[in-house]
Structure 1
Amino acid sequence: MAQTRWVADRLAESDPGATFQIQSIRTTGDGDPRPLFAMDQKGIFEREVDAAVAQSRVDFAVHSLKDVPSQLPDGLTLACVPKRESARDVLITGDGSSLQSLPRGSIIGTSSLRRAVQIRRSRPDVGVRPIRGNIETRIAKIDGANYHGIVLAQAGISRLNLDVISAALPEDEFVPSPGQGSLAVVSRADDHGLITLLKGIEDADSRLEAEAERALSGYVESGCRFPLGAHASVDGPTMTLRAAAFSADGKKSAVARIAGDRRAPRDLADRTAQDLRRQGVEALASGWRESLEMWNR
């Protein structure tokens, strides 16, 4: 809702004559209490919302880009990607401890298998426990008994203007989820007037980064249950795409860093995917199912 209000405010600034009414829609992901990586589904936070767009019950939808599948339903389009927030993951604790300074045996909460794997690779002596709920609910669970800290995206904290003590996690070890930090505005592909309005708040670099990360995600067939990290960054005429994929137990990985022409994000994604394939990413993707139970205990 905060993200939707932010988009509506930016659109109103871009076109002062436009007015908006926000409609809330409950999704499958909202009503399922299981850890995200225990759900063998794609689009669990956007399917019902995008159905409302397709059926003309609403004009457009605002999502976290990382929740949007790489292939949208027929008739819908990713109309706008506004300027991206930080893509970093952060650790939130009661006293501002960093991941490395937490005592042995500390319990860290996360709803992401990617983050769980990366935490255990960095600190095999701490515990990782699933956690659900909105951002405020998760933060309230940091009590030193059940959770000593939780890992969240910096973008969500920033958009809610939350005053919390956090420590940024190193980007080379915690490559974020594809699309993390970006918003996705989805509309009907034939609603050309609305698309023109939405394009008024699009950020060109953020769009290119989103296209590269989403293309890579599609090539590798990632999802909430396969821990792929991908982060593209534009610097002048160049775009660099970093990617990291892990086995579910965190013991094996495939890591790539490829630079190329910013105007060809899909080519960059394809070359990065090829590098990951040479390192055996398919074996990582097929092997995670066998060890998923350890994350559900």
Structure 2
Amino acid sequence: MKIRIAARGSKLSKIQVDMVGEKLRKLGIDYELVEIKTKADLFLNEPLAKLGKGVFEKEVNEAVLMGKADIAVHSMKDILSEFNQELEIFAVLERDPPNDILITEKPLHKLEPNTVIGTSSIRRKNFLTYIKPNVSVKDIRGNVDTRIRKYLAGEYSGLILAEASIKRLKLDLKYYRLNVYDFTPEANQGIVVVLGRKNDERIKKILKDISDQNTLDEALAERATISIIGGGCHSPVGVLFKKEGKELYGIASYSDGRKKITVTISKTGDPNNLGTELGLLLRKEIKNEGIIS
């Protein structure tokens, strides 16, 4: 048996396909990559906010719906918006570090005025502007390896990226892990997800054997928070849940660049309910601070 996996053609996407593929091979199942170009790949010079939602996943998911592939593999943070109702989450791999990192020669508190830091994320831009208002934030596009090349070429003095991407690419770079209270990660950061067709019971059963339940609980709680607040790379919201035993500890942050709101929760219970509770708490505090109506 061979499972066809749809994914983008970036180096990181192929590595994530192989991460899923290795799990499948341990079950005696082979796999092949079905490489898909997305809107984000075709318009590399446009800011992500201009391209709208679904820029990293829409075409990949369509390949599964059209029967060109059996499953789709994504960075889970790229599918925060509602995906097609004919698809469902078949599996998530055990989470890699969810933190943001600062790739630069100096730690955050030692950055000099007007240091140019590259990021395409509004969340990262606003958090950085709030913490270090004298730093210059410059938009950067391209796959992770492309961004690294631009940094090494001196176009930027530093970058903010997901630690998981550096780990998966096995890059040897000097970086500083950013505190989750200062830089609360994007929801589902560090998680690889597998989507499949709802009616494909055979593939669904196979994928269930490679899924990590603790990671799934964290992911579902974070997605519930985002469903209340709104999120993704077009939003200045970060949310992170960590499951320890039966308890879920959650943190959520919002910043407009001038003010920053952070709330936390620590409880046992249904991940969706806890995520919703955290989202409502953050929304209440945002309104109290007058950031949004």
The alignment status of 1:243 with 2:256, answered yes or no, reads no
Of residues 36, 39, 49, the one that matches 1:37 is 49
1:84-163 map, 5 Å: 84-93=95-104, 96-143=105-152, 145-163=154-172
Residues 281, 3 of structure 1: CA spacing in aligned structure 2 closer, same or farther, 3 A cutoff? farther
Residues 51, 239 of structure 1: CA spacing in aligned structure 2 closer, same or farther, 3 A cutoff? same
What are structure 2's unaligned runs of at least 5 residues?
Answer: 1-13
Find the counterpart in structure 2 of residue 271 from structure 1: 277
Structure 1 Cα separation of the partners of residues 80 and 134 of structure 2: 34
Displacement, 1:241?
A: 1.2
Structure 2 Cα separation of the partners of residues 60 and 144 of structure 1: 37
Amino acid across the alignment from 1:112: S
Amino acid across the alignment from 2:36: I
Find the counterpart in structure 1 of residue 265 from structure 2: 258
Contact 1:70 1:214 in 2 (8 A): no
Q: Give identity over the alignment, percent.
A: 33
Structure 1 Cα separation of the partners of residues 94 and 188 of structure 2: 12
Residues 145, 156 of structure 1: CA spacing in aligned structure 2 closer, same or farther, 3 A cutoff? closer
TM-score, normalised relative to structure 1: 0.89
The Cα offsets for residues 126-149 of structure 1, whole Å up to 9 and x where unpaired, read as 100001111111111125853101
Structure 2 Cα separation of the partners of residues 257 and 82 of structure 1: 25
Displacement, 1:251?
A: 1.2
> How many residues end up aligned between the 2 structures?
278
More strand by share: 2
- Deviates most, 24-33 or 274-283: 274-283
Displacement, 1:103?
A: 1.9
Structure 1 Cα separation of the partners of residues 83 and 245 of structure 2: 30
Moved over 4 A (4+): 281-286
Residues 195, 177 of structure 1: CA spacing in aligned structure 2 closer, same or farther, 3 A cutoff? same
The alignment status of 1:204 with 2:213, answered yes or no, reads yes
Structure 2 Cα separation of the partners of residues 127 and 182 of structure 1: 30
RMSD: 1.7
Residues 285, 45 of structure 1: CA spacing in aligned structure 2 closer, same or farther, 3 A cutoff? farther
Structure 2 Cα separation of the partners of residues 70 and 218 of structure 1: 9
Contact 1:36 1:225 in 2 (8 A): yes
The Cα offsets for residues 17-45 of structure 1, whole Å up to 9 and x where unpaired, read as x1111011000111222222333x22110
3-state secondary structure, aligned to 1:100: helix
Displacement, 1:71?
A: 2.3
